[in-house]
Amino acid sequence: MKKLIITSALAFICVTAVIAQKNVFGVDWAINFPNNNGYLTKTSYAGGKIDYRHFFKENWSFGLALDWASYEQYMPRQTFQKADGSGAVTSDFDAVAYQVPFTATLHYYFKKSKMFRPYAGIAAGGQYLEQDLYYNVYVSSDNNWGFVARPEIGVLINPNNKYWGFNVGAYYSYATNKTDLIKSNSFNNFGISIGVVFGE
């Protein structure tokens, strides 16, 4: 069901972007740096973004964005003592997370200089997060939805005013996904994105 919703949303974004005017449609590769109190510290290079923006004023756009990122980190065998001293667990783990935020976006564009058009904005919406802990021959899994807020900055690069260009961005994502696996109430990450844009 979730895949169907995501696929439908993608189809809507793709089709709308291509047929409409004053619209920008982008596909990005995303690199994400998790920031979660020591759990999952390894950088993810397996991420991306599909981004649609509609300019309702010359310097303002709103839109929709679908991001995804896949994290994985091996944690060597170690002993975790419970905080109250009543117990402990020893194992090695392979920690995996799959993050899919679906957001509405609002961007402001600074003055254009030749081919560069810097912008700042905010994305907010829902985030699906799946977390798995693999250990020995077992796996413990948890998945849920949370609220995500993501301030963003970036620059649209539009060489020769063609209908296509590049988009380079950076952001910080804060999400309220709770995970009992690691007693965590949030999932946060920095990220940078590099991609191509099509549109006016």
Residues that bind other proteins (CB under 8 A): 6-7, 10-11, 13-15, 17-19, 25, 27, 46-48, 50, 66, 68-70, 72, 74, 77, 79, 81, 84-94, 96, 98, 132, 134-138, 140, 198
Pick 69 or 155: Cβ nearer other proteins: 69
Q: What is the Cα–Cα distance from 171 to 185, expressed in whole angstroms?
A: 20
To other proteins, the closest distance from the beta carbon of 82 in angstroms equals: 8
Residue 82 CB coordination number (10 Å): 9
To other proteins, the closest distance from the beta carbon of 118 in angstroms equals: 25
Q: Which two tokens stand for residue 95?
A: 């920690």
Pick 72 or 122: Cβ nearer other proteins: 72
To other proteins, the closest distance from the beta carbon of 87 in angstroms equals: 4
What are residue 113's DSSP bridge partners?
A: 116
* Closest to 157 measured CA to CA, from 148, 168, 147, 146: 168
Pick 109 or 187: Cβ nearer other proteins: 187
Residue listed under structure tokens 């081919």: 115
Pick 24 or 66: Cβ nearer other proteins: 66
Residue 190 CB coordination number (10 Å): 14
To other proteins, the closest distance from the beta carbon of 172 in angstroms equals: 21
Vertex 30 angle, CA 33 and 4, to 5°: 115
